[in-house]
Structures are given as C-alpha cells and as structure tokens.
Structure 1
C-alpha cells in the first residue's frame, strides 16, 4: 500500500531532544568538547554595567562567531539565519528550539565597544591555545613563521595617489576606519614634533584608500594591484597549531617586524621559546638573524638574504677569504682588503648607515693584478661591504648545510597549508571588517577556528570524516 505524507493524525504533544539530532561525529561536537569559555564573563565583567536590562549573553555571541568562522559563513546577517535554521548550530550555541537568535546588529555594537575595549577575541584565542598545550599538541621545540596577503574591504576605485593632499575632514561619510587611521597617525606623530616633520618628508605610499587608509596598496605577481592587509602566523611545527597571529599592513618590513612581537609575546604569556625558527628568505636579513641568535638564542632555519653574489661573471665577496684576527679580507691573489690603512689616535667604527663596514683593496695592488678584469673591471680598486652582523649570517649558512635544516624546509609547508585552508575552507580571502582593528579581529577569530578544528579532527574519534563532509 502506497503511503501518503501527513495521512496520520496530528500529535498533541511532542518529545524532542536537540542533542539526539546532532550526529555523534559532527565537527561541532569535537569543537564543543575542547572549547572552554568558563572565565569569559569574569574577563568581560568590568565592561558591563551592574544596572539595567540584561544584555545578550556574550558567550552566545562568541559561540555564534566561532560557528561562522569554522564554517566559512562570512556574513553576520546570514550567520543569524543559519543558527536559526540549523539544529547543530543551535545545539552548539546552547539555544533551544524556541529561543530567539540575536539580531545581526548586536555583533557590530559589541565589537566596536566592549569586545575591542577588553580585547576579548585575544582572550578567547589564548584560552584555546592553552587547551591545545594541555592536550599535548604544542611541543615548543620548533616554530615556523610566514605571512599571507588578504584583500581589504576597499575598492581600488576609491583610492587616490599617495602624493595627493587629502583633507580627511571633508571626506564624505568619514568612516570608523578613517577615524582610527587619523588617531593612529596623531598618536604616533604628535603635531609639531620631530617625528611629524620626518613623516611629512618621508616617501608617501603609492596609493591611499579613502575608505580604509591603513590598508596597503599591493599586488600579487602577475595580477592587478589592490588594497590589502597581511595575516602573520607563528605556528608550532609538531601539529601545526597557531601559537600567535598578528595583523600588519601588506608590506615586507611590517611583516618581518611582526616576528619580534609574536616571539616575545608567546615567551611572556606562555613561557615558550623555540629552539629553532623556520621561515623563508624574507626573514633572513642580517639584523633579524642577529636578533634570533644573539638576543633570543634561537637557531635560524632561514635562507640568508644575500645580494652579494654577482651575475656578471666577476668575483663575488664569498670568493674572498675573511681573516677574523687581522680584520681583513684576502683576495684570490693574496692581497689584503682593509677598513683602515693606517692607525688613528681615536679609533673609528667605520660603520655606515646600512650597518656595514667597507673593506677596500689598495689601488696599486689592483692596477698590477692579473685578475682585475674578473674582480673590478669598472672601478680602480675592489670594495667589499661587510655587515656588522656577518657572524650571524655565517651561522645561518652553516645551519643551512645540516640535515635538520632540510627537515625544517619540509615542515615549513604546514604554515602554507594553514593559509590555503584559511582562504579556501574558511572563505577568508577578503576582509569584511575595515581598519587595523577589523583585520585584528578577523585574523584572531580565524586562527581560533583553525586551532579548534585541528583539535577536533586530531583528538576526537570520527571527527575527521565529518570535517571533510562539512568542508
């Protein structure tokens, strides 16, 4: 007999348990097992008034944001709709079938107020990291560092040349990102100070966005330029757990400097300092290598940023022999290159603005040398600029010849895989929030979601298969 939908008598009473309708292997069950927000209210208590109507539970908002970032739901309006409809999302957010979902505007009100004032998203990230450490996923022996460019929520059309004078007071509908940018400029360079005068004479950016002026004008190789920020990850190499994240403008100098901030913050807050640090050539400058070795006592598993190799078939500086005791170079024919040809009553450092010391050969030696055409064909004598941090560069070159360095190069792919996951699975290839604080919020939440997903898939039986299903 053929059945018919709705053919039976309607029930007067229903027994419904939300927990029974969430699969045991669902990714959110694993995430919920490792997420502990027990001290969230204590952290936020100073930022709430003791009087008035009760607010939306901050734990509910954080749980909803975690759902959005874990499953690539980029719109908070759509996130509210999905939590309203999806039983698993309701279960994770501790909402019953009849409980109301907060309005999407609640998130922006709290984000621009107490959430940023209390830096609660950093607090949530740190608590999840602490759970990763207690579960044994962070070894602390080796860290990897890298940066990835994320498009800003700023149209290239709404940009002006950096050399053009801008009256920000007349910018139509001055946004919160513009106000944040102007406040940062005023704080860094108060009017009338020497720093402000230096800023006015420094090289302006090529292009500035009128909607998000802190975003950098950049371009990927072979693509059109755009406004962007960089997310910088510091990860532990054992399980690929993100131990710190920092938002910076999308330029190399800011990306490289972020490593100091993150290494020192992790050491201060978590008492973690790696034995080795893995990175690409961008982190191989002489000053950075010296900082790792001499100040932090970290072995740099980083390629040396070396521009001394010549491409015109003439002798490179590596073909000259360095004599530490004599403080001089020796060319292949045995002639000396010195920083001083005579002694001074008051010794001179000879250090240039580029933190180098210039070693020069004698012009008489070079004129009569049989190898002049291969050494310095276009100059009367040969010069070599030696970095004051050359000893650190030599140590990095020595490490690069070890088997451990080759293993580090393979392990560095873990941080690149996290960036691919960030953009393809979590859908964070373009920011939704503006300004440095918006980038800070989004990158912290995304890193928190990635750590939670990593714990759930590695430590909860069966969660890995469900993770692939929801991705």
Structure 2
C-alpha cells in the first residue's frame, strides 16, 4: 500500500518522517530561482574551476576535510553583490535563501559553514596565496573574452572609505607610542609597523629630490595605517582610499588598489595599476582620464614620456593669482634663450652671470626659478599689476613643463571634452559601491583588510556588470533562434 501511494499521483500524508523526506526530494532550489535573477546571470559568467588547483598547496592532504574554497568565495560574492556586510548574517541568509543556496551549490540538507571559517581563512591561506587577486583577475579575463574591455581608454579615480576605527581612539602623530603595551600589538598594528620598517629602508635609498610622505596629524590606536582625513568635508575621520582603474568601453574595473586616504599615495597607485595591467593582460590605454589630482607635472611626464599615454587630465596649475595681477601664463617663454619675457618686455632668467662650474638650478620641488631684474622692475610702469608687494617677479618652471604643455594642448581637443563625460563612469561605480553594496565603511582593519574588501567589491561589480550587459543579449539571440 505504501509503495502504491508513492508511485501514484496521490500526495502522501503530511505527517511522518517519510513524507518529510518525500517533500524534500520534490523541492529543488533550481526550480525556485527565477530565470531573470541576478545570480543566474552571475553564475553563467563566473567560473571557479581552477580555484582548487590554485589553493592546493595551502591545504593538507590529511586530517579533517576542509571547507571548499569555491564555496566560501561564492558566499562572499553573494554578500558583496547584495550588500550583506556581516559574515554572520551572510551565513544566515545563505541558510534561508534558496537562490543563495543554489548559487553556492548547496542542497537543502547541506550545512552552511560557520562565520568564523571566513576569518580564519582570510587571515591565513587566502592572503598567503593572494587568492582574492586571483579571483578578480579570472573574472576580468572573462570580461575581456566577452568583449567588454576595449583597452583604448582608461579612467582613474579614488574614493575615500571610512576605516573601522573610532575617531576618538587616536593620538597626535608627533607623540611617541609604545605598541607593546597590553596584550601586544594587534594584526593591524603589526602590519603597520612592518610598513614603517620598509619605508625606513626605502628612505635611506631615496634621492634627496624625491618627495617624502607628510607625517599624519593623528594616528589611530586601532588601525594606525588608516589616514586621518576630512576630504569629503565635515568632521575628520580615519579612512582608506579605494583606487579604481576602469576601461571606458563598458565600465569594467581592470585593477583596484587600496591606499591610505592621502593624495600622493592615491596618485602613485596609478603607476602601479597601469604597469600591472600591462604586464599581466597586455593592456595599455591610448588615453588616461582623471581629475586634477592626477595632473601633477611628474605624473604627466610619466604618462607622456615613459608610457606614451595621452593624459586627458586637467593640468594642476599653481601660478594663478587671486589678486588680479599677471598670471604665469601672461609671461612668454623663450626656449632658445632659456628665459621668460614679461608683458613689459623684460627678461626673467634663472641666472644672471655665467658660473665657472655649470649649475642646473633645479630645486627640491623639481623646478627652476626664473627671476626678473630688480633694476627693470623698479622703473616699470606695470609693476603694480605684476609684483606690487615684492621687489622682483619670480616664476617657478617645472622640469616637466614640456609635458604640461602637451596636456594643455590635449585639453583643447574634442576628444578631451568627450573624456570629461566618460569620467562619470568611474564615479558611478563608487556611488554603487557605497549605496547599493553598502561599502561606505570597512569591516576589516589594516591595509590587507582594505585590500581584501576592495578586491571582492570590484569582483562583484564586474560580475554584476557582465550579467546585466550580456544576459539580455543572449535572451534576445535565443528568442530569435526559436
């Protein structure tokens, strides 16, 4: 009688252990995930087939079986795609949500890993193997194979993200700190001290003309590598910067770098990302779009002279005056005679007499200062419009002024005006990062924690972009074929 009931169309009774197992066999997560669900599109383009091979050397062949790294990565992608910031809550959501279970390859009876598993793996084998970078680059390669990366134009920008550090738990940057007090330095503090040791070694080898990082005004006792900043306006706080390098064709993130929220380090990260993308993916843009922060003389010279990239970046001008006197652009540069000519026709030179031993006159700021003659300025009728408060006029000319001139010429082209519009694509990604993915404050501490969070967020954003761009096209092709 029981066998007849199971093979017929009659539904078994609602009570009893056998009927419960029957209902579970009839319930499959795949049947309850809508066809247009975001995770279906992401699953179609996300392939973690080589993840186990990449992590093989970091797992033991004996002992209790370990949690599958692909399962943890899939769960983290779910968390970042849907703004689930807590790993404890992520485990609860995956346990309850059929779509999340389906994406993570979990059956109805399969257990969900404990939230502590993520912390242990993140601070251990994940960072030792640089697995998150591996996952990000595998997704980027898929974007490239799907034709979403053009490689013609890149855009660069940075966004400030609050660190997991209380703004009241800090001391002045000039104050000495004994990090060995209490139970000893935390993981974030140990990472900070290791960075200081590396910076001291680099400082000994640094040339005198190279710029050094300004000491921070305040240092957090919780996360000392975070930078004290008030960049967005309002009260200052400790923060890191998420630096995105994106391809302008479809807004795909081609690289990401975490730095303290300090302008110099944000700009320097551009070189790291451009070189890394060229080395690993053979991608080098013809133009690079950025805001004025990337328009320094040294950066423009690097783009033009070293990388042969057109800088679609506003030139950082420091010669404009607010007192209605002549700006530096009002002075004519004469390259053959190595001098400037003022509006009155007088010469500004870097030297007034020849030296026995020739001098470069290059300052620590990589500039050459050109000065007018006090005799010329004293009887000049335009002195009140030129230098009313000083006896002579000075102009500091960058050693990279030729690169600045090329950037100024590019700024007058129609392509530059289009690039200013294209730059909004990277700003949209940052808005999505903070509002949709809820990454306006970090949960992990230290530079490595910021690095992990930004990499996972960029991976999730690329997967979402692929799913939303390519899934409708595939559905249209399937409908046309039918």
Provide, for residues 152-172 of structure 1, a one-character-per-residue CA deviation record: whole Å limited to 9, x for no partner. 111112111212211100045
Structure 1 residue 190: Cα displacement: 6.0
Provide, for residues 167-205 of structure 1, a one-character-per-residue CA deviation record: whole Å limited to 9, x for no partner. 1000456321112112222333369x9589x9xx98642
Residue of structure 2 equivalent to 1:3: none
Matched, 1:235 2:253: no
Residue of structure 2 equivalent to 1:275: 286
Go from structure 1 to structure 2 and tell me whether the alpha carbon gap of 1:257 and 1:371 turns closer, same or farther (over 3 Å shift): same
Residue of structure 2 equivalent to 1:16: 27
Q: How far apart, in 1, do the equivalents of 2:30 and 2:68 lie?
A: 21
CA RMSD of aligned residues (A): 2.1
Q: How far apart, in 1, do the equivalents of 2:172 and 2:351 lie?
A: 47
1:262 to 262, 273, 282: 273
Go from structure 1 to structure 2 and tell me whether the alpha carbon gap of 1:170 and 1:9 turns closer, same or farther (over 3 Å shift): same
Go from structure 1 to structure 2 and tell me whether the alpha carbon gap of 1:221 and 1:17 turns closer, same or farther (over 3 Å shift): closer
Residue of structure 2 equivalent to 1:326: 337
Structure 1 residue 8: Cα displacement: 9.1
Q: How far apart, in 2, do the equivalents of 1:362 and 1:220 lie?
A: 41
5 Å-filtered alignment, 1:181-330, equals 181-189=192-200, 194=204, 204-330=215-341
Go from structure 1 to structure 2 and tell me whether the alpha carbon gap of 1:139 and 1:462 turns closer, same or farther (over 3 Å shift): closer
Matched, 1:131 2:142: yes
Contact 1:25-1:463 within 8 A present in 2 as well: no
Contact 1:293-1:299 within 8 A present in 2 as well: yes
Go from structure 1 to structure 2 and tell me whether the alpha carbon gap of 1:463 and 1:148 turns closer, same or farther (over 3 Å shift): farther
Contact 1:360-1:383 within 8 A present in 2 as well: yes
Unmatched segments (≥5 aa) in structure 1: 1-6, 465-471
Query: TM-score w.r.t. structure 1 length?
Result: 0.93
5 Å-filtered alignment, 1:32-43, equals 32-43=43-54
Unmatched segments (≥5 aa) in structure 2: 1-10, 476-482
1:179 to 190, 195, 209: 190
1:143 to 154, 157, 169: 154
Q: Secondary structure at the match of 1:138?
A: coil
1:160 to 162, 171, 175: 171
Go from structure 1 to structure 2 and tell me whether the alpha carbon gap of 1:170 and 1:297 turns closer, same or farther (over 3 Å shift): same
Q: How far apart, in 2, do the equivalents of 1:179 and 1:106 lie?
A: 22
How many residues are matched?
454
Go from structure 1 to structure 2 and tell me whether the alpha carbon gap of 1:253 and 1:341 turns closer, same or farther (over 3 Å shift): same
1:387 to 392, 398, 411: 398
Q: How far apart, in 1, do the equivalents of 2:386 and 2:423 lie?
A: 38
Q: How far apart, in 1, do the equivalents of 2:214 and 2:103 lie?
A: 51
Residue of structure 1 equivalent to 2:410: 399
Runs of 4+ deviating beyond 4 Å: 193-196
Residue of structure 1 equivalent to 2:358: 347
Go from structure 1 to structure 2 and tell me whether the alpha carbon gap of 1:289 and 1:165 turns closer, same or farther (over 3 Å shift): same
